[in-house]
């Protein structure tokens, strides 16, 4: 590992013996004799902050375990709004033999940016994305092709309920039971893909800090979140309790043995998506990691997981939100150095105030080819993304993976598309 900048100055030069005498050359460092001056003997030295850790390594395991205490899972439930002036519809009697229906849901990742607020991807809580998810799950379909008909733009915004949870086995978890959080503000996927949620009545959580500088090309990063595949493969999933209505989705996930996962890669490009700056990373993303943080080796947040390419469809295009835009959205001071890679600003301060930002992961359209087999008959197409995992790739996947055979037709999915 190379050492540069201020860190290099702290490393004493090696002792070089003279080729003639075998003694150290004049001016060379020695291990004996007069000791170097202490911090208390040099005026002002004690006030100097230690040099930050180098950024040319991946995050270590102890720091990663510490960061996971700040990670939360988010389940957003979308429902039709209640019109107080509409006539009360008489519900048709439900066939006792019919399979239970799950509500339209999406799963995302979030994290504490302050002791009482959570950041996630904007598309995770965007009513436009929720309406699209509802349309894909329960909307009318073309009888000839089986594909959903175009979405009616005149439909009202759906009602949104956002639950936050942390797995029971997560060390240091603050959310000991799922709670409903308030959406303070958000930006759509086209406008930055960020959201801020408020938490009340809980002990203060451990926040993550945002990096003061933008990442540099080739720098190692780690992305954290709840991958969709982990959800369906984790022990302790109480599907019966979920389908019976005895447990909410957030309860089911918290009671499972689900844990946040991390993937590592490097910063490979700075791109623009519909005029908004993003950073492209080589770390693997999965549905459900939307809103999770991507951090440097010091555990500072560079951005939020925002978009992914479905792996079997061409080149990797996984992106996180821009560092400076994230700080601006959260109302933090943006230092001038934050617009430049840290390599160009070696004297910049490494620490920053706690905060974080939101972004998204992906979407995949799943076609179910086994009509008449329980729940699958109600969902010929499932949008698995739209705020992490619109339960086609998450909770719905648990049901569809039973006796139902499904084929997946997926391409690149982008926030707000």
- How distant is the alpha carbon of residue 312 from its chain centre? 22
For residue 377, pLDDT beyond 90: no
DSSP 149: P
Please give the backbone phi and psi of residue 125, each rounded to the nearest 5 degrees, phi first: -125, 5
Q: Is residue 304 part of a domain?
A: yes
Q: For residues 272 and 59, what is the distance between their CA atoms, to the nearest angstrom?
A: 27
What span, in angstroms and rounded, lies between the C-alpha atoms of 89 and 92? Answer: 9
Among the listed residues 80, 78, 126, the one whose alpha carbon sits nearest the alpha carbon of residue 105: 78
- Residue 174 — φ and ψ, nearest 5°? -95, -35
Q: Inform me whether the pLDDT recorded for 400 exceeds 50.
A: no
Total domains present in the chain: 1
- Record the tokens describing residue 286, joined without a space: 């999965």
The separation between the first and the last C-alpha atoms of the chain, rounded to the nearest angstrom, is 42
- Give the span between the Cα atoms of 329 and 359, in whole angstroms: 12
Band the pLDDT of 75: cuts 50, 70, 90: very high
Closest CA to 160 of 182, 138, 177: 182
Q: How far apart are CA 122 and CA 277, in angstroms?
A: 15
Quick one: how far is CA 406 from the chain centroid? 27
Alpha carbon distance 231, 78 (integer Å): 20
Is the pLDDT at 360 greater than 60, yes or no? Answer: no
Residue 347 lies in a domain: yes
Average pLDDT over residues 166-192: 93
d(CA 253, CA 286): 17
Is the pLDDT reported for residue 81 higher than 60? Answer: yes
User: Which pLDDT score, from 0 to 100, does residue 218 have?
Assistant: 95
**Sequence-ordered list of residues with C-beta below 8 angstroms from that of 2, at least 6 positions apart, any chain:** 56
Strand order in the sheet with 406-409: 381-383, 365-368, 406-409
Segments forming the whole domain that contains residue 347: 71-81+100-409
Token pair for 227: 């991958």
Residue 398 scores a pLDDT above 80? no
Sign of CA dihedral 396, 397, 399, 404: positive
Radius of gyration of the chain from its Cα atoms, rounded to whole angstroms: 25
Domain annotation covers residue 75: yes
pLDDT of residue 410: 33
State pLDDT tens for residues 306-347: 988 765 555 668 999 999 999 999 998 755 544 444 444 433
Tell me, yes or no, whether 151 lies in a domain.
Answer: yes
Say if residue 282's pLDDT is above 80.
yes
Between 379 and 148, the higher pLDDT residue: 148
In a domain, 91, yes or no: no
Helix, strand or coil, per DSSP, at residue 43: coil
- Does residue 274 come out as left (phi exceeding 0), alpha (psi in the -120 to 50 range) or beta? left
Closest by Cα among 16, 46, 51 to 31: 16
Higher pLDDT, 3 or 262: 262
Rounded to 5 degrees, what angle do the CA atoms 123, 125, 128 make?
Answer: 65
Percent of the chain whose predicted confidence (pLDDT) is above 90: 41
Q: Is the distance from CB of 119 to CB of 304 less than 8 angstroms?
A: yes
Q: How far apart are CA 50 and CA 36, in angstroms?
A: 17
DSSP class of residue 378?
G
Whether 416 maps to a domain, the answer reads no
Residue 29 resides in a domain: no
Cα separation, 36 vs 119, in Å, equals 47
Asked if residue 406 lies in contact with residue 366, where contact means CB atoms within 8 angstroms, the answer is: yes
> Quick check: 11 pLDDT over 70?
no
Q: What is the dihedral of CA 173, 179, 185, 186, to 10 degrees?
A: 70
H/E stretch holding 350 reads none
Helical (H) or strand (E) element with 271: strand 261-273
- pTM for this predicted structure: 0.69
Tell me what pLDDT residue 391 has. 31
Give the pLDDT confidence score for residue 226 in this predicted structure.
94
Distance of alpha carbon 228 from alpha carbon 167, whole angstroms: 15
Dihedral of CA 16/18/22/23: which sign?
negative
Residue 47 domain-assigned?
no
pLDDT for residue 99 is more than 60: yes
Q: How confident is the model at residue 50 (pLDDT cuts 50, 70, 90)?
A: low
The domain that holds 233 is classified in CATH as 2.40.10.120
């Amino acid at each position: 590992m190379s050492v540069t900048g201020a860190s290099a100055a702290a490393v004493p030069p090696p002792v070089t013996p003279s080729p003639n005498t075998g003694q150290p050359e004049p001016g060379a460092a020695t291990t004996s004799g007069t000791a170097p001056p202490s911090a208390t003997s040099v005026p002002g030295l004690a006030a100097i902050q230690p040099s930050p850790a180098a950024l040319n390594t991946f995050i270590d395991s102890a720091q990663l375990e510490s960061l996971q205490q700040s990670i939360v899972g988010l389940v957003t439930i979308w429902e039709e709004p209640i019109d107080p002036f509409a006539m009360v519809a008489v519900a048709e009697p439900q066939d006792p033999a019919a399979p239970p229906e799950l509500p339209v849901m999406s799963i995302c990742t979030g994290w504490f940016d302050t002791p009482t607020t959570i950041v996630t991807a904007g598309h995770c809580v965007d009513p436009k994305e929720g309406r699209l998810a509802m349309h894909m799950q329960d909307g009318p379909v073309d009888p000839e092709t089986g594909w959903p008909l175009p979405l009616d733009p005149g439909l009202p915004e759906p009602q949104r309920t956002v639950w936050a949870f942390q797995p029971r086995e997560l060390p240091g978890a603050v959310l000991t039971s799922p709670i409903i959080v308030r959406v303070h503000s958000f930006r759509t996927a086209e406008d930055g893909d960020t959201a801020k949620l408020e938490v009340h009545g809980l002990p203060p959580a451990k926040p993550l800090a945002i990096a003061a500088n933008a990442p540099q090309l080739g720098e190692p990063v780690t992305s954290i979140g709840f991958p969709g595949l982990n959800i369906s493969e984790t022990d302790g999933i109480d599907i019966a309790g979920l389908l019976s209505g005895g447990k909410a989705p957030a309860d089911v996930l918290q009671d499972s043995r689900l844990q946040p996962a991390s993937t590592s890669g490097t910063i490979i490009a700075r791109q623009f998506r519909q005029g908004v700056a993003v950073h492209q990373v080589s770390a693997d993303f999965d549905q459900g990691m939307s809103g999770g943080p991507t951090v440097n080796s010091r555990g500072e947040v560079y951005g939020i997981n925002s978009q992914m390419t479905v792996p079997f469809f061409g080149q990797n295009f996984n992106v996180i939100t821009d560092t400076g835009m994230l700080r601006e959205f959260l109302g933090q001071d943006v230092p001038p150095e934050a617009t430049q890679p840290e390599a160009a600003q070696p004297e910049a301060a490494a620490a920053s105030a706690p905060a974080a930002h939101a972004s998204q992961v992906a979407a995949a359209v799943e076609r179910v080819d086994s009509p008449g087999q329980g729940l699958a008959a109600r969902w010929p197409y499932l949008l698995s993304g739209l705020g992490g995992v619109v339960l086609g790739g998450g909770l719905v996947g648990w049901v569809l993976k039973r006796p139902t055979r499904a084929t997946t037709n997926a391409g690149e999915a982008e926030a707000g598309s």
